Chains A and B, each alone.
Chain A
């Protein structure tokens, strides 16, 4: 028996009230993939992410998580699926009144029956994994933006999720830090055999890590291209997408 894909979206329409953001989105994220959601600013990338992680209900259409209709499930079942996904928010969203170790420990304390010593070890291990060994006792306000992002990644990894969501992982990072984060994402995906969904418009990241991608267009309000980022560079791809991926280099003929 093959496992159902971790995420499948069918004819999704997203809207705030009567203002439609995107309509008729249909795509599948296959297991073990690094799936990129790209598009210009304000095209609804982050809104799509909010739909996928269960913060916002679709106006129309279906989101299947592990083959189940995500929004038709009971709250308890939906929570179970949510717990199986790790999310890295754009600005980290670490709880500012807790130390890094406490930030990572919170989901472990809430949702597992691990002993305090194991939780402590796990926190240290996850921090070491993202290159922050020994930073357990720092508060989010005491560390740099890049470190905060990595700490947030450690928190996202706390429950060993099978699927990871990243909202603009390299926003606000210098090229070297953002490259390191990309490497880390690839490494984690391979080691944990996790599925990764990344919302980004960072070209370097798109080509470095993406195995599949969709391009959201704010004009036509739907997906205008789909495929691996390298394939989207070929001449058959819509001019807008090629323009985006070459920083406006090849103007539409």
Chain B
């Protein structure tokens, strides 16, 4: 009794099983073009009659084949094997038979099964991971402090030339973007301030607004955000790629601590450069505000500068620069930490970079809030 497989359009690849009840022998007629582009039977091996004891193939009408025939037969082979059926594999086209044999010779490696977790264990694992992360951050900061102490005694394995290079990258090369953003922030701040000030006829106070706003806060924040996106991300990507390429392992195995050799120069360079960049940003920001004061509010240069000098204090500038300095440390720590923690794939480098920028911005906001509260409390 012939077992017909689902009907297939003419001209397409077909597999038809003929089964002879008397001899319990089956013949699988393969015909047509068994290639990707042609129409093929549904995937999955044909159902073989229970009593069948042997199987051979008839490939007289087979015009072409590729891997699609092989996966069809691979399933069949598994079926036949589990039933102990005698199959004449040599009746297949020579190459196909050999490839099937090659594929089935491969010992099956046990697949790594990912266990499913209940919500409680998920919560537990997440908590443990968060805790471990926090410990890791503390450990990193502690190691960094130790490295700094070692540096003071001149025993850190850091090359000053590396630090100089990092300073150039984090300082002069960032001037253009910091000045552009600083100027525009000053401009925007002044425009926004100008609207309510005009209502009260108090245009002159634009100088105070800009002075205090930029010096104390905005200068530092915009420099910090620009540098987090620019340099913090670069640190994470750089160290992350080094982790992927096993360059960090190479340093460790040579007895060169990556903390001193890679992190320390970046940390020092950024903490040194950020206050300077902030100072420059302040200057350009006030310039931006002044442009609005002079050309939009029709103040004179003397009026503006006098008001600025009278209402801003040196303390404002120092609070801003102190904030910059703190930001420099935070950005460097976040960038380097994420880079060092990076996994070993290209995707992990992307994650490290993203996470470096996000965490440094969050840290900066928290730090700003803390500094503001403390300075207000201390009446600085």
A136 close to chain B: CB less than 8 A = yes
Are B110 and A134 interface neighbours, CB within 8 A?
A: yes
Are B345 and A122 interface neighbours, CB within 8 A?
A: no
Give the residue of B95, B103, B108, B112 whose beta carbon is less than 8 angstroms from that of A125: B103
CA distance A140 to B346 in the complex (A): 11
Query: If the complex has contacts A114-B36, A193-B95, are A160 and B66 also in contact, measured as CB distance less than 8 A?
Result: yes
B109 close to chain A: CB less than 8 A = yes
**Could you tell me how many residues of chain A have their Cβ less than 8 Å away from some Cβ of chain B?**
37
Are B75 and A96 interface neighbours, CB within 8 A?
A: no
Within 8 A of A (CB), among B94-116: 94-96, 98-99, 102-112, 114
Are A128 and B345 interface neighbours, CB within 8 A?
A: no
Within 8 A of B (CB), among A131-145: 131-141
Shortest distance in angstroms between A214's beta carbon and chain B's nearest beta carbon? 27
Are A121 and B109 interface neighbours, CB within 8 A?
A: no
B43 close to chain A: CB less than 8 A = yes
B347 close to chain A: CB less than 8 A = yes
For chain B, what secondary structure do more than half of its interface residues adopt (helix, strand, loop), or is it mixed?
Answer: helix
Please give, as numbers and ranges, the residues of chain A lying within 8 Å of B67 by CB-CB distance: 122, 125-126, 157, 160
Are A141 and B344 interface neighbours, CB within 8 A?
A: yes
Please give, as numbers and ranges, the residues of chain B lying within 8 Å of A79 by CB-CB distance: none
Query: If the complex has contacts A97-B345, A117-B43, A134-B110, are A129 and B102 also in contact, measured as CB distance less than 8 A?
Result: yes
Are B36 and A112 interface neighbours, CB within 8 A?
A: yes
Please give, as numbers and ranges, the residues of chain A lying within 8 Å of B105 by CB-CB distance: 131
Are A140 and B345 interface neighbours, CB within 8 A?
A: yes
B71 close to chain A: CB less than 8 A = yes
Are A128 and B106 interface neighbours, CB within 8 A?
A: yes
Are A125 and B98 interface neighbours, CB within 8 A?
A: no
B303 close to chain A: CB less than 8 A = no
A192 close to chain B: CB less than 8 A = yes
Please give, as numbers and ranges, the residues of chain A lying within 8 Å of B345 by CB-CB distance: 96-97, 139-141
Interface residues of B (CB under 8 A from A): 36, 43, 66-68, 70-71, 74-75, 94-96, 98-99, 102-112, 114, 343-347
Interface residues of A (CB under 8 A from B): 95-97, 112-115, 117-118, 121-122, 125-141, 157, 160, 184, 187-188, 190-193
* CB pairs A–B below 8 angstroms (13 shown): A121-B71, A121-B75, A125-B67, A127-B106, A133-B103, A133-B108, A134-B108, A134-B111, A138-B112, A160-B67, A187-B98, A187-B102, A192-B99
